[in-house]
């Protein structure tokens, strides 16, 4: 099962096993990763699953949809590497993906 690595604002690192086909957000919530709230359940209506994808993983992901980009405009402190974790579906190729958590989702 692929793993994802979440790094919080203080540098704390947390690993989570996330089944293929499950979103990064679902995996974070299932593994009680602080910093990913996913209040809307993954339907792109809240941006509380905002994360920053590590540079070496960005090219391995499909581009953000226009709707995702619109939601990221509502996130706190969006950056060029911002993504909604509900839109990142885990695959074997993403084993070891590293994402950084924002200081706040609100």
Cα-Cα end-to-end distance for the chain: 31
19 within some domain: yes
Q: Which domain holds residue 34?
A: 3-100
Exposed, middle or buried, 22 (CB in 10 Å: 0-12/13-18/19+)?
Answer: middle
88 within some domain: yes
User: Structural domain tally of the chain?
Assistant: 1
Whole-model pTM: value is: 0.95
106 within some domain: no
What is the Cα–Cα distance from 42 to 1, expressed in whole angstroms? 21
Which residue, 43, 53, 42, is CA-closest to 78? 53
pLDDT confidence of residue 87: 97
In degrees rounded to 5, what are phi and psi of residue 75?
Answer: -75, 155
105 within some domain: no
Question: Domain containing 63 — which CATH number?
Answer: 3.10.20.30
Tens digits of per-residue pLDDT, 75-104?
A: 999 999 999 999 999 999 999 999 999 999
64 within some domain: yes
pLDDT confidence of residue 34: 92
20 within some domain: yes
Tens digits of per-residue pLDDT, 37-73?
A: 999 999 999 999 999 999 999 999 999 999 999 999 9
């Amino acid at each position: 099962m692929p793993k994802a690595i979440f790094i919080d604002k203080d540098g704390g690192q947390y690993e989570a096993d996330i089944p293929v086909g499950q979103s990064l957000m679902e995996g974070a919530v299932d593994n009680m990763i602080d910093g990913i709230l996913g209040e809307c359940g993954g339907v792109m209506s809240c941006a509380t699953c905002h994360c920053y994808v590590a540079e070496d993983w960005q090219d391995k992901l499909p581009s953000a949809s226009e709707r995702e980009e619109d939601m990221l405009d509502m996130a706190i402190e969006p950056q060029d590497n911002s993504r909604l974790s509900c839109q990142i579906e885990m695959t074997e190729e993403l084993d070891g993906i590293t994402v950084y958590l924002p200081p706040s989702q609100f």
